Amino acid sequence: MGQAAKPVTVRQFFAPHGPLSTWHPNFEFRPGQLEMAVEVEAALNERKHLIVEAGTGTGKTLAYLVPAILSGRRVIVSTGTRNLQDQLINKDIPFLQQHLSRPLRVCSMKGRANYACRQKIYDAEKEPVLSGLEEVADFEIIRDWEKTTPTGDRAEIRALPETSTAWGKVDARRELCPGQKCPQFERCFVTAVRREAAASDIVIVNHHLFFADLAVREEEYGAILPEYAAVIFDEAHEIEDVAGQYFGISAGSYQFIDLRRDAAALARRKGFATPGLAAALESFDDRAARFFVLFENVEGRARFPTGKVFQELLAERYADLQTALQHLAACLELVQEPPEELAPIRSRLAGLSENLRLLVEKRDEAYVYWVERRGKGCFLQATPVDVSAILAERLFANLSTAVLTSATLAVSGGFGFTRKRLGLAAARTLAVQGLFDFQKQALLYVPQHLPDPRSNDFAKTAAAEIERLLDYSRGRAFVLFTSYQQMQQIHDRLAYRLEYPTLLQGTGPRGALLDEFRATPNCVLFATASFWQGVDVPGEQLSLVIIDKLPFAAPSDPVVEARIRRVREQGGDPFYDYQLPQAALALKQGFGRLIRSRSDRGVLALLDNRILKQRYGQVFFESLPAYSFTTELNDVETFFNV
């Protein structure tokens, strides 16, 4: 433990000759970091809300962690990704703990699926729940690890494949949890992390866990997180989409499959399996399959199908499925001396029945109803068209301080779009410039000769342009696309013509692809929007980012379509009030992958010259950092030859 006294104020801490300058081996005074930290301190002390756009290199994590720690109040820090959550708990917090004069009470909480369930592990040793040699091998890894792990967090098990199906059979998800009646409750990893959180001043979570908690917080015993005085949202640009998921309604085919499997396994294990229950489970399974097959022709995300024939079939199969749900529930009610584990099964049955009723029978104009096919799964969803009123009422009105920060919150230098979408009218705002010299470090290239990206000729000509750019950069690139179809089409055109190793999103887990990219010289990764944020590859390994077109959200997407319609109904201009600012922030995120340190250099190539030809292009330029700019391919070659 260091000997430095705790600084009285944040300003002293970040000053040119303050404590941080003596502690940090690579300290460099950052005026933007100090400015942000002072504003965060003021927001916490004065019980105000704050929105901060902090450019890359600001040092924003320390700029909000230090004021939060010094505030003396319990603060939730919510991140957009588990990677950032792990960075805070494994890097930033230990650094501060090493030097501050008092111990820091900090913990990290993740969703229950990240933790092992001891009871499930013990049961799996006795019951035939594992399938195949791979699951058996993975389970042996998990079983040995459980004996020594202090946290039960899956992230500790480096040897367990990301795609392991064995983990899903022993994790601590709520669906089968009997709570305090579990024999392992006192030794439970979830119990332990909740106790730690209740004794902590800083609790680090991710957005999904935070909004899962907020959605159930008003229910009796529903809260997941301890009571808190303030929340800091890092990567706050993701809040609207994540909040929409948790304040919506959903029912998916996998939920029915899992419920049938769990109920059957519990009946066998606890000795209440009967022919009558087996028949009820079989009928439940069959009726669910017949219901979801109605949506089998839906690809990706789409609105609920309409038409008289479909509606008649839907009504018939929905009624059959509800009957099967009720019959199964009745069979489970008849179980004599029911085990504690049966209560969660009954609760899941009731929840599925209610969600189906809301999705099929009820039509609330505040929600958009849609269907999504992912692999073999079918998911029915109802999402709030506008989460701003929900957030204003359920979050910001009940919270003394919320700090929202990200590198991408301002459009054309203003925060109006973010304020409106999130329902945060009364908030201070601050835009802090990053530490990097984008004029010297980055070149933005927009080719004028390519056709409109909506034309049939675009893929062919764009592929040729990408090949030339990759030749100049010697690979070392992300090639990012606004659609899977375009990604696959251009990858197929180029993969065998390029002399550089190529990776394609979807051919492996996201983390594994990134690790391989970092470790493979001159590598080229073809990917879509999921690689536009939360990805950090500093150094020469990533020297070129190519984006195929301006990232306007597809107006055919049911949620986007409903939000466009809502803006129009309210007298606004959907394009300028919603689609354009959303696309500007998305482009900013994509380009943010390139320059991650003061020594990085690279080219940003946007193959969509509408940014030059259309009046709205100025909004994109005003929202991006001040890169050097060219429309000449020769300038790209010169940049890489310097």
Structure tokens belonging to residue 115: 């933790």
Does residue 297 lie in a domain region? yes
Are residues 459 and 545 located together in one domain of the fold? yes
Instruction: Identify the CATH number of the domain in which residue 82 sits.
Output: 3.40.50.300
Are residues 80 and 39 located together in one domain of the fold? yes
Q: Between β-strands 502-504 and 602-606, what pairing exists: parallel, antiparallel or unpaired?
A: unpaired
Q: How many CB atoms lie within 10 A of CB 583?
A: 22
Are residues 288 and 400 located together in one domain of the fold? no
SS (H, E, C) 90-153: HHHHHHHHHHCCCCCCEEECCCHHHEECHHHHHHHCCCCCCCHHHHHHHHHHHHHHHCCCCCCE
Q: Of 3-17, 117-131, 415-429, where does the model show the most confidence?
A: 415-429
Question: Measuring CA to CA, which residue among 58, 64, 63 is closest to residue 30?
Answer: 58
Are residues 372 and 323 located together in one domain of the fold? yes
Instruction: Please give the pLDDT value at position 426.
Output: 87
Instruction: Identify the CATH number of the domain in which residue 264 sits.
Output: 1.10.275.40
pLDDT above 90 as % of the chain: 61
Kindly state the DSSP code that residue 28 receives in the 8-state scheme.
-
How is 148-174 classified by DSSP, letter by letter?
T-SS-BGGG-TTS-TT-SSGGGTB--G
Residue 46 contacts by C-beta under 8 Å, 6 or more apart in sequence? none
Are residues 99 and 209 located together in one domain of the fold? yes
What's the average model confidence in pLDDT over 451-464? 92
Out of 182, 208, 229, pick the residue that ends a domain.
182
Is the CA virtual torsion 531, 534, 540, 546 positive or negative? positive
Q: Is the pLDDT of residue 566 over 90?
A: yes
| CA–CA gap between residue 510 and residue 515 (Å, rounded) | 9
Query: 15: helix, coil or strand?
Result: coil
Kindly state the DSSP code that residue 476 receives in the 8-state scheme.
-
| CA–CA gap between residue 638 and residue 642 (Å, rounded) | 6
**pLDDT, greater one: 273 or 539:** 273
Are residues 57 and 205 located together in one domain of the fold? yes
Are residues 132 and 220 located together in one domain of the fold? no
Are residues 212 and 353 located together in one domain of the fold? no
Domain that holds residue 124: 111-182
Query: 408: helix, coil or strand?
Result: coil
Does residue 189 lie in a domain region? no
Instruction: Please give the pLDDT value at position 220.
Output: 52
| CA–CA gap between residue 89 and residue 102 (Å, rounded) | 17
Kindly state the DSSP code that residue 614 receives in the 8-state scheme.
S
Does residue 457 lie in a domain region? yes
- Tokens 């006192």 identify what position? 186
**pLDDT, greater one: 433 or 370:** 370
Total domain count, the chain: 4
Type of residue numbered 603: V
Q: Is the pLDDT of residue 2 over 70?
A: no
Q: pLDDT digits over 76-106, tens only?
A: 999 988 778 888 988 899 988 887 777 889 9
Q: Is the pLDDT of residue 264 over 80?
A: yes
Q: Is the pLDDT of residue 40 over 70?
A: yes
**Half-sphere exposure in the Cβ direction for 492 (13 Å, CA):** 7
The alpha carbon of residue 247 and the mean position of all alpha carbons in its chain are separated, in whole angstroms, by 16
Between the two ends of the chain, the Cα-to-Cα distance in Å is: 46
Kindly state the DSSP code that residue 14 receives in the 8-state scheme.
H
Strand partners, 367: 384
Are residues 525 and 447 located together in one domain of the fold? yes
Between 41-45, 300-304, 471-475, 565-569, the lowest mean confidence (pLDDT) is in 300-304
Instruction: Please give the pLDDT value at position 353.
Output: 95
| CA–CA gap between residue 494 and residue 474 (Å, rounded) | 14
Does residue 124 lie in a domain region? yes
Q: How much is the pTM? A: 0.88
Does residue 121 lie in a domain region? yes
Query: 572: helix, coil or strand?
Result: coil
Strand partners, 445: 605, 630
Helix (DSSP H) and strand (DSSP E) numbers for the chain:
27, 18
Specify whether the CB–CB gap between 231 and 399 falls below 8 A: yes
263-270 contacts at long range (C-beta below 8 A, 24 or more positions apart) = 263/328, 263/332, 263/345, 265/127, 265/129, 266/176, 266/339, 266/341, 266/342, 266/345, 268/127, 269/123, 269/127, 270/339, 270/341, 270/342
Question: Measuring CA to CA, which residue among 405, 387, 39 is closest to residue 236?
Answer: 405
Which of the four pLDDT bands, split at 50, 70 and 90, describes residue 176?
Answer: confident
Does residue 570 lie in a domain region? yes
Between 179-183, 289-293, 328-332, the lowest mean confidence (pLDDT) is in 179-183
Q: pLDDT digits over 102-153, tens only?
A: 788 999 998 888 999 999 898 888 777 777 788 888 889 999 999 999 999 9
Are residues 331 and 479 located together in one domain of the fold? no
Q: Is the pLDDT of residue 3 over 70?
A: no
Out of 384, 405, 422, pick the residue that ends a domain.
384
| CA–CA gap between residue 399 and residue 210 (Å, rounded) | 14
**pLDDT, greater one: 132 or 387:** 387
Out of 435, 450, 470, pick the residue that ends a domain.
435
Query: What phi-psi label fits residue 412: left (phi over 0), alpha (psi between -120 and 50 degrees) or beta?
Result: left
Specify whether the CB–CB gap between 121 and 160 falls below 8 A: no
Question: Measuring CA to CA, which residue among 49, 57, 3 is closest to residue 26?
Answer: 57
Does residue 494 lie in a domain region? yes
Are residues 119 and 163 located together in one domain of the fold? yes
* Residue 440 Cα distances to 23, 604, 611, 634, angstroms: 30, 13, 22, 17
Specify whether the CB–CB gap between 252 and 370 falls below 8 A: no
Are residues 258 and 339 located together in one domain of the fold? yes
Which of the four pLDDT bands, split at 50, 70 and 90, describes residue 597?
Answer: confident
Work out the mean pLDDT of the chain and round it to a whole number: 89
Does residue 187 lie in a domain region? no
CA angle, residues 191, 196, 202, in degrees to nearest 5? 135
Alpha-helical segments (H) within 361-400: 388-394
